[in-house]
Structure 1
């Protein structure tokens, strides 16, 4: 059985396993491939988490040539020292990968500058980003809990309007890019 594991960062690992191999053994194999410890791994297949360590891949409903999502668990209750270590590891990874650094510089120059010059500021920016994402996730869960409340309806309407604005922007960039810059006629 051939399985493909894709991380949130876009890395993929193709692993050949026995269909009756238990999940805990698959996760140990993934640790060797990806470097993510078994305790930090979270596997999803077709939108559902796979977590029973004694279940075989067949029992989990995973077939041959399946693609699974491999995520690294976020430990919110961890110590601040652990968060600082993660931030430093991420900063060093950014500094070691020029293409990734160029992408970060385009999307968020403040984080790129902090990664190069100020490790403490980089860790603070990562913490702020993590907090913003956690708040957005809590808000999304709250909307899903009661989608018929007035507040939820207002937020859903805002999201739909924002999506329409983004689609219009993409359309304008695609079909009339000259409207976003100066065009000098010869």
Structure 2
């Protein structure tokens, strides 16, 4: 079997040894390779010193394992944390995660390789969350162990009875899993960023003079603001309760009404904006498709900016560190958005009252108006609601739809 020996000056030596070889004989081989006398060598495996009389196989040294060698004065300090702490526990976690992290960060070549092969682990090493690092090291160790287990099972299946139905089922499952593993490995090599965490799109925005972190969501049909946020912005007095209802989506959220127009400031430019006001304490402000379309916004992911008015104003998307911590769970946020307001996402409907307009929906003239407004890019539900609100006046309904 082959083992790797790392010296105190971080030189790597690969040796071919037998499982029944003694540690003393291994030291003799290292003396030839490193010119370090046998009696000045100390070998560490999994953070523990191994004695000269020990057999490599008996102490758990397997093919591909790493053994540390310390020399001279360093060797005398058998309990030195700097020698042991960069090793890993049997479950894959670091003996001393802080020392392990610092050791890897000092190796620029290794970090460059990690950013290519495992960007998620590399990003975790750059952070300060030691618990997250330990968790990821255990996951990687578990993945490798699982892969080795599957390889052993595949080898065993090669010698299975070809007429055994159960054995054939296992072979089929192994082939299918091998395809999945190969696909995963290819993605890890050629598309590693797919495994990194996706940060949601936020921009800085002033609503009625109050600075906010606005969540930009082109999948939400309407721009929404929470009741508490509307109150902070001094807009609750403008709430039109004729638009009360119940939004049905992922769960239900009460629609308190609508604020028809209020100023938002992007950069140094003011834009008119309308909002649905929701009873949603966990999300302040969502900038939806209605306002993105009205102000001809462009989500430019190459430059990482949101452009207004076709490019007259650009505002950068916030970095992860600038996003409110409660909003960094994108799955939770999307669930709130999809179930928190009328027309927030596709398939979400609300019971919104309208002013009496007679039985317009059955007339041929009314259907003609609906068809013409739908051609302008609005949904049938939006068109019918607007026509009923304005007693069938097509021009007023169109102006409302384009303005709101």
Scaled by the length of structure 2, the TM-score of the pair is: 0.25
Which protein has the bigger strand share?
Answer: 2
Which one has the largest radius of gyration? Answer: 2
| Higher helix fraction (1 or 2) | 1
User: Normalized against structure 1, the TM-score is what?
Assistant: 0.49
